[in-house]
Structure 1
Amino acid sequence: MSQAAREHVVVINRYGRALAPYESYIDHDTVAVSYISVPAAAAEVPPTAASSVVVETSGALVNDADDRAVIVDAARRLVERHGPLCAVVALHEGDLDVAAEVREALGVPGDRPDDLAPFRDKYEMHRLATEAGLRAPATSPARDADDVLAFGARHGWPVVLKPRGGTGSTGVRRLSGPSEVHRIDPDEDLVVQSFVDAPIVHVDGLFDGRQLVVPRVSRYLGTCMAYETGRSLGSFELEDPRTVKAAGDVVERLLGALTRRPVVFHAELFDLGDDEFSVVEVACRAGGAEIPMLWREVHGIDLLEVAVGLQVGRPLEDLVGDGTTDADAVGGWLLVPPQVNRPCIVEAVDTAGAERSAASASVPAPGTMIHAGGGYANAARFRFAGATSQVVEEQVRAAAERVRLTCVPVPEDVLVLVGSGGEAYREYAMASAARKARVSLVNRSPATWQRAYCDATYHRTSAEGMAEIVSSKVAELAGGPAVGVMTWDESVVGEVAQLADEIGVPGASAEGVANCRDKFRTRTTLEREEGLGVRFRLVHDLAGGRAAADDLGFPLVLKPRSLAGSAGVTRVDSLAQLEQAYNTVASSGFPGLMNEAGVLVEEYLDGTELSVDCTVVDGIATAANVAHKRVGYAPSFEEVGHVVRPWRHEPWAGDVQELMLKVHARLGIVAGVTHAEVRLTSAGPRLVELNCRLGGDFIPLLGELATGVDLVGCAVDIALGRSPEHMPLRDSVAQVVFLYPERDCVVAEVDMTGCAEVDGIHSAIPLARPGQKLVLPPRAAVGRFGALIAVGDSVEETDRALAEATTRAVFRAEPDD
């Protein structure tokens, strides 16, 4: 089927693919599926999408008029590109209204604004419920404070004030009496309701236009309103047939009063006792929190898939078959929010073993920012399953009592961080930075996982765009909190140093970074200082390489002039090896970096290789962390592992510290955290290279695990003009090993869950994904499929843990021929 002949569907998306895998809901090969996404969901669009448009909206949970205009315009542009629409899909309640507007504006089948009004307008919903003979709290529009006062006088206090077209409990307020009634913004569209002091149940399932299909009735533990104030929220499914039938009958009558169309629904009822229920409200979408995942895992029905299927015109019976589920399975869930005002930073999570009784658990990592405005994403989240309602209720209640999410206020000082790096290698660093400062991220690609650690994110597409964003952010905050600028991304370290110099905030210095990025400048700058020089030549062709070899003698090291990560660095022991390796070294590359012309030919430095991380304040470098490198894939210098162990009493420690003082001063590095590579030669320690950024390969994390020194935190402190905390707190051992395939390949599966179960293993991290091509050195650098990090009291202890964990790693791949 040609592109032009394919049907065209637009998805208005706020969700990640783990929650809503649209590519499994709609065949993207036979249907042209376009996406209109908010920035946070942009990277979650399947690669098989016909188009992807990112829209900047107000950020409100429910799209306002300006948001709707932007989205309708985006839909028109997609129609111009891919042809008329046959369906518009939206799953989030805040997007239902705009999806209806797109359908109406472009003549697309499906719900229009009038169809949604009984669900989206809480006053209209309660009016229709009352007309249908259902019990419901008194409800009235509230245009101003006088309306609220009059309602309270007529129906009594307390009352509940809520947005007329809101979602969840956002903006819902309980007013105890007239003294709590303040001025109401005339632009707010509100309703006021009588307060009902009764527990709440929720009913979820499907409605075929006449009756309920596979409904499940659950009792809340806590309330949505209390959740916004730091109280846990959960629920557990009920089994009592009378209660289930009574609640289901109320919801069936309510839905029948609102629509004759099939819908996925989430209803809430006040439980008045004796199987009597009063209407709270109902939504024509799947429930929030853990409800869609719980249904998927426990009951075998994907409510989101059904919702998508209905919106693209599939009959309900085709989506749910005979409508049966596992009648013996009972589900429940729990959300534990922070207990301080948001925004805040997660400091620690104590699950008290709740994850062992849960069918599934998702816990935010320390350093995660929990933003203002509520929401469920950054809570500690648990799903439970059991044979009876009583069993599940006990699990939910026990977890609610024991689990604690300890949070602290967001720091006042602001760090403008340029470039996040990849999630696998740098999430720990983002978390550490967030604990130290309010992070504003300036990134090449739209932020996804990084948003959990950021106060603000900015997408830049060029160096000029980066400079403009950073400069304007610093100017915006002038006169307020301390502001710093930093990066750990080698590809922009020069630009960031230049900006720091121009703006007048602490940084390495643009000249110092240039001296380090260009390894030829490093060598020429240091050769005039006694004890720092290394014999070298810069050559521009193979003939020059031969001449350098004649002059310097073998063994030699060939290296690109200005790359990173050991890319292209090769040892040669003979003229034949030099001639074979030269072109490979000269043509090497590294993502995001331009290589300066020429190949550096250096004498080979014998001895143990270390990496040395230094804090630099006012030009004085202090060695804070030392890692022993493990190198493989000779003649390349692939770093296959690193070990941080006690080093301050080693006989070479003083000489290494002295070397760091000299090279930083000579190269002009005045502030920051740096990462040096050093060889302990027979003539004393010599510098291999110096990087004006945090080390990679988890080395800063190893340092923190082994010594208690948070190198990321030190870098943030220095960028903000504060004194770094670089004194060690302990002398443990931390080690990382990287796992490689046996040959070049295309990854089919990486599963490291079994590795994490080994005693002493701190982390087991997949580094490759299915479909990814891995190429081994020397043809490419870092062709790894996983990383294992171990912590212990000795190198031998961590070696044993890593050896055992390595045997448990599952890796499948197809040869790349």
Structure 2
Amino acid sequence: MSDSRSALLVIGSGLKLYREYLVKSAAARARRAGHALVLVNNLKPTWQHEYFDEISVVNVFDHALLAEAARDVATRFSIAGVLCWDEPLVMPAAELAVEFGVPGLGLPGVQGCRDKYSARTRLTEGGLLQPGFAMSADVSEARAAADRIGYPVVVKPRALGASMGVVLARNEQELQDAFRVASDASLVGDEAFRGGAIVEEYAVGPEISVDGAVHQGEYLPMFVARKRTGGHPYFEEIGHVVDADDPLMSDAALMDTLARAHRVLGIEDGITHSEVRLTDRGPLIIEINGRVGGDLIPFLGKLATGIDPGEVMVDVALDNRPDIVPESRGVVGIRFGYPQHDCLVRSVQLPEQAPGLVTASAMVEPGTTLRLPPGGYIARHSFVVCHADDSVTCEEHLQAATDQVVLDAEVIAPKPAGSMLEMPAGLLEVDK
């Protein structure tokens, strides 16, 4: 452990399965730079002890309590930087960075990342291609907005991640159900953004994501992930493929759009995860998140390109321009296993060998309840990661490995309409 009295403050560790690889790299980078790593977390630490010099446990979703805990850390350490990769916490983390006078997304930047309505408004005013959209407080406003925009429309909460509460509505009848789902889902988010929903034009085209760093306002793209979604009319993310030689990394229109969008939103320093539709009118920004990608996308990027997002996060937090030159050239993908129905898991069997298999893991314990949208989200029982020399072969490897996953589960009835949605264990839970 470091003896330094300066520290990088980490707001929320996230779940081990999704984030330990980032924590490991960030901890090593921080200590090489002479800083301790201090965590403020919602759950009592287990695996985190190996990486952090000090850990405080508070209800981080109560932003006042989080700020109080962070200020307490600042009485013992000089805060050299603030790190956060947990979507519900990026806003208070950015506010703390401003308070401590260290690099961060900035207040306008984090507002543009967290508040989808603010982002749509500002990107439209900035001259970037955007869908028609409107914020709706109730079903009647949503119906009027959809009539103006034209069906099909996407209905979504104002400030959630992981496609939670995002629904496609093809007509007025579907719109009413979609609005209820989106508005109800918003209730698990920040209080300021609860209730109502955004109604927006459905953008047609392949969807991708781009993870990049921002250093003093300069946008530095790291890697592109091609996204696979399912669960119609919802947008559950079931897989991603990162190709170090993806031609989109040298697509001038895409990269110019991303750089302009970051400037318009006023993002200063940090890591972002941008979601983009490649439409026949050009690249259309769906949203820019003020954190690295979820779904192990940064892990895929590291394996495919050699760029380590954990190290890049620390560099940017310490106001150093990161090195984002790829060190390797590969293709790596992930595929998540979802049940066909709401269920109670008995067991998950994984492939031990498969072409290109890097790793496979169960994501739940026996006895776990998995709820599909709209009763729950991210209802994954497993994942497989595969590599290949090209994207087509990688997709073939992923399908072959996925076909070997066996879920033994008891089908259960869906939750009644209007019930509070269920999330994966640990995601929004708090230890008292």
Q: Of the candidates 148, 172, 178, which is equivalent to residue 575 of structure 1? A: 172
Q: Of the candidates 276, 286, 304, which is equivalent to residue 706 of structure 1? A: 304
1:731, CA displacement in angstroms?
2.1
Matches within 5 A, 1:295-334: none
Aligned CA RMSD, in angstroms, stands at: 2.1
Q: 1:646 to 1:804 in 2, by over 3 A?
A: same
- In the alignment, which residue of structure 2 is the partner of 1:797? 393
- In the alignment, which residue of structure 2 is the partner of 1:507? 104
1:591, CA displacement in angstroms?
5.0
Larger Rg over CA atoms: 1
Q: 1:590 to 1:640 in 2, by over 3 A?
A: farther
Report if aligned partners of 1:416, 1:439 keep a CA contact under 8 Å in 2. Answer: yes
Residue 728, structure 1, aligned to residue 326, structure 2: yes
Residue 779, structure 1, aligned to residue 375, structure 2: yes
Report if aligned partners of 2:360, 2:385 keep a CA contact under 8 Å in 1. Answer: yes
Give the residue type in structure 1 aligned to 2:22: A
The SS at the match of 2:334 is strand
Q: 1:615 to 1:701 in 2, by over 3 A?
A: same
- In the alignment, which residue of structure 2 is the partner of 1:657? 255
Q: Of the candidates 466, 473, 477, which is equivalent to residue 73 of structure 2? A: 473
Report if aligned partners of 2:224, 2:249 keep a CA contact under 8 Å in 1. Answer: no
- In the alignment, which residue of structure 2 is the partner of 1:550? 147
CA offsets per residue over residues 200-219 of structure 1, 9 Å max, x none? xxxxxxxxxxxxxxxxxxxx
- In the alignment, which residue of structure 1 is the partner of 2:288? 690
1:596, CA displacement in angstroms?
3.3
Give the residue type in structure 1 aligned to 2:161: A
- Distance (whole Å) between structure 2 residues aligned to residue 412 and residue 658 of structure 1: 41
Matches within 5 A, 1:436-515: 436-437=29-30, 438-461=36-59, 462-478=62-78, 483-515=80-112
Give the residue type in structure 2 aligned to 1:767: M
TM-score (ref. length: structure 2): 0.88
Report if aligned partners of 1:424, 1:766 keep a CA contact under 8 Å in 2. Answer: no
Q: 1:706 to 1:410 in 2, by over 3 A?
A: farther
Residue 738, structure 1, aligned to residue 336, structure 2: yes
- In the alignment, which residue of structure 1 is the partner of 2:231? 633
Give the residue type in structure 2 aligned to 1:454: F
CA offsets per residue over residues 448-477 of structure 1, 9 Å max, x none? 111122222111234333223323434533
Q: 1:492 to 1:654 in 2, by over 3 A?
A: same
- Distance (whole Å) between structure 1 residues aligned to residue 328 and residue 5 of structure 2: 30
Residue 681, structure 1, aligned to residue 274, structure 2: no
Give the residue type in structure 1 aligned to 2:65: G
1:412, CA displacement in angstroms?
9.0
- Distance (whole Å) between structure 2 residues aligned to residue 593 and residue 770 of structure 1: 31
CA offsets per residue over residues 157-199 of structure 1, 9 Å max, x none? xxxxxxxxxxxxxxxxxxxxxxxxxxxxxxxxxxxxxxxxxxx
- In the alignment, which residue of structure 1 is the partner of 2:125? 528
- In the alignment, which residue of structure 1 is the partner of 2:404? 808
Q: 1:413 to 1:763 in 2, by over 3 A?
A: farther
Report if aligned partners of 1:655, 1:684 keep a CA contact under 8 Å in 2. Answer: yes
- In the alignment, which residue of structure 1 is the partner of 2:419? none
Q: 1:410 to 1:688 in 2, by over 3 A?
A: farther
Report if aligned partners of 1:518, 1:596 keep a CA contact under 8 Å in 2. Answer: no
- In the alignment, which residue of structure 2 is the partner of 1:561? 158
CA offsets per residue over residues 216-267 of structure 1, 9 Å max, x none? xxxxxxxxxxxxxxxxxxxxxxxxxxxxxxxxxxxxxxxxxxxxxxxxxxxx
Q: Of the candidates 318, 343, 363, which is equivalent to residue 767 of structure 1? A: 363
- Distance (whole Å) between structure 1 residues aligned to residue 359 and residue 37 of structure 2: 25
- In the alignment, which residue of structure 1 is the partner of 2:216? 618
- Distance (whole Å) between structure 1 residues aligned to residue 395 and residue 123 of structure 2: 37
- Distance (whole Å) between structure 2 residues aligned to residue 413 and residue 608 of structure 1: 45
Residue 672, structure 1, aligned to residue 265, structure 2: no
Residue 517, structure 1, aligned to residue 111, structure 2: no
- Distance (whole Å) between structure 2 residues aligned to residue 746 and residue 592 of structure 1: 26
The SS at the match of 1:757 is coil
Choose between structure 1 and 2 for higher RCO, CA contacts under 8 A separated by at least 6 residues.
2
- Distance (whole Å) between structure 2 residues aligned to residue 650 and residue 521 of structure 1: 27
Q: Of the candidates 415, 418, 429, which is equivalent to residue 8 of structure 2? A: 415
- Distance (whole Å) between structure 2 residues aligned to residue 714 and residue 602 of structure 1: 34
Report if aligned partners of 2:132, 2:200 keep a CA contact under 8 Å in 1. Answer: yes
Report if aligned partners of 2:183, 2:194 keep a CA contact under 8 Å in 1. Answer: no
- Distance (whole Å) between structure 2 residues aligned to residue 581 and residue 650 of structure 1: 33
Report if aligned partners of 2:131, 2:202 keep a CA contact under 8 Å in 1. Answer: no
Report if aligned partners of 2:146, 2:200 keep a CA contact under 8 Å in 1. Answer: no
Q: Of the candidates 15, 21, 25, which is equivalent to residue 432 of structure 1? A: 25
The SS at the match of 2:392 is helix
1:492, CA displacement in angstroms?
1.4
- Distance (whole Å) between structure 1 residues aligned to residue 4 and residue 227 of structure 2: 35
The SS at the match of 1:584 is helix
Moved more, 445-454 or 456-465: 456-465
Report if aligned partners of 1:506, 1:721 keep a CA contact under 8 Å in 2. Answer: yes
CA offsets per residue over residues 109-146 of structure 1, 9 Å max, x none? xxxxxxxxxxxxxxxxxxxxxxxxxxxxxxxxxxxxxx
- Distance (whole Å) between structure 2 residues aligned to residue 760 and residue 749 of structure 1: 24
> Mind listing any 5+ residue stretches in structure 1 that lack a counterpart?
1-342, 344-408
1:758, CA displacement in angstroms?
2.4
1:534, CA displacement in angstroms?
2.5
The SS at the match of 2:247 is coil
Give the residue type in structure 2 aligned to 1:570: V
- In the alignment, which residue of structure 1 is the partner of 2:202? 604
Matches within 5 A, 1:139-154: none
The SS at the match of 1:532 is coil
TM-score (ref. length: structure 1): 0.48
- Distance (whole Å) between structure 2 residues aligned to residue 640 and residue 660 of structure 1: 24
- In the alignment, which residue of structure 1 is the partner of 2:416? none
1:647, CA displacement in angstroms?
4.8
CA offsets per residue over residues 569-610 of structure 1, 9 Å max, x none? 111222222133221222114755444332111111111101
- Distance (whole Å) between structure 2 residues aligned to residue 548 and residue 431 of structure 1: 46
Give the residue type in structure 2 aligned to 1:801: H
Report if aligned partners of 1:440, 1:457 keep a CA contact under 8 Å in 2. Answer: yes
Report if aligned partners of 2:224, 2:248 keep a CA contact under 8 Å in 1. Answer: no
Q: 1:590 to 1:718 in 2, by over 3 A?
A: farther
Report if aligned partners of 2:362, 2:383 keep a CA contact under 8 Å in 1. Answer: yes
1:812, CA displacement in angstroms?
1.3
Matches within 5 A, 1:66-81: none
The SS at the match of 1:614 is strand
Report if aligned partners of 2:182, 2:196 keep a CA contact under 8 Å in 1. Answer: no
Give the residue type in structure 2 aligned to 1:467: A
Identity of aligned residues (%): 37
CA offsets per residue over residues 321-370 of structure 1, 9 Å max, x none? xxxxxxxxxxxxxxxxxxxxxx4xxxxxxxxxxxxxxxxxxxxxxxxxxx
Residue 538, structure 1, aligned to residue 135, structure 2: yes
- Distance (whole Å) between structure 2 residues aligned to residue 495 and residue 580 of structure 1: 32
- Distance (whole Å) between structure 2 residues aligned to residue 506 and residue 686 of structure 1: 28
Give the residue type in structure 2 aligned to 1:571: L
The SS at the match of 2:344 is strand
> Mind listing any 5+ residue stretches in structure 2 that lack a counterpart?
31-35, 414-432
